[in-house]
Structure formats: structure tokens, C-alpha cells
Amino acid sequence: MLRAPEMTTVLYRMVMDKHICPDGLKAKSLLRSRGFKIEVHWLRTREETDAFKAEHGVATPPQTFINGLRIGGYDDLPRYEGLKVHDPKATTYTP
């Protein structure tokens, strides 16, 4: 995908005293590896997180927005980028 210089990518993720969301770290890493310049917003308290979820009608952060369009959480990023997505129901063991 082309990365226009004016493209705005915003990532909201939980970064609290006793918890840093691993999916937020993975989302940040994936976006950077794909060439996105990211504006990161930390959700530092349970209250901030709950308010964010209510405002955007989402179940959980992280959430990524590109040019104002909500892409979704970490699992939605590979789909957006056209990458292969692991099927959680697929067999992972081969004898």
C-alpha cells in the first residue's frame, strides 16, 4: 500500500502503571514496519480507557485510525494491509 505523506495514522493504546497492552505494542510495531508514521495516544487510566471505548463503541483498545477511518484493533491491521491472517480455528499441530 502507498503511504501518502499527508496520511494521518493514530493509534490509541493502554499504557498504565501496572499494565502495558501487548496488542498495542504489536500494533505499533506492525504499523511502523509497514511504513506508517504514527501518532500514539496513551490511555493511562481505567477511566480514560472506558471513556474511549464508550465514545468509539469498541470492546477494547488498541484501536487504529487512518485518515479518520477506524481500522480496528490489532487483529484488523493485517487484514487492512492485505496480509495473511491466522485462522484461530485452524489445526496447528501436524503429527
CA distance 30 to 74: 9
User: Is residue 84 included in any domain, yes or no?
Assistant: no
The total number of structural domains in the chain stands at 1
Does residue 6 register a pLDDT over 90?
no
The mean pLDDT value for 70-83 works out to: 91
Containing structural domain, residue 24: 9-73
Q: What is the DSSP string of 2-46?
A: ---TT--EEEEEEEETTEE-HHHHHHHHHHHHTT--EEEEEE-SH
Q: What angle do CA 63, 55, 75 make, to 5 degrees?
A: 20
Does residue 3 register a pLDDT over 70?
no
User: Is residue 48 included in any domain, yes or no?
Assistant: yes
CA distance 81 to 33: 11
CATH of the domain at 40: 3.40.30.10
Give the H or E element holding residue 55.
helix 46-56
- Taking the complete model, does pTM exceed 0.75, yes or no? yes
User: Is residue 94 included in any domain, yes or no?
Assistant: no
pLDDT band at 84 (very low <50, low <70, confident <90, very high): confident
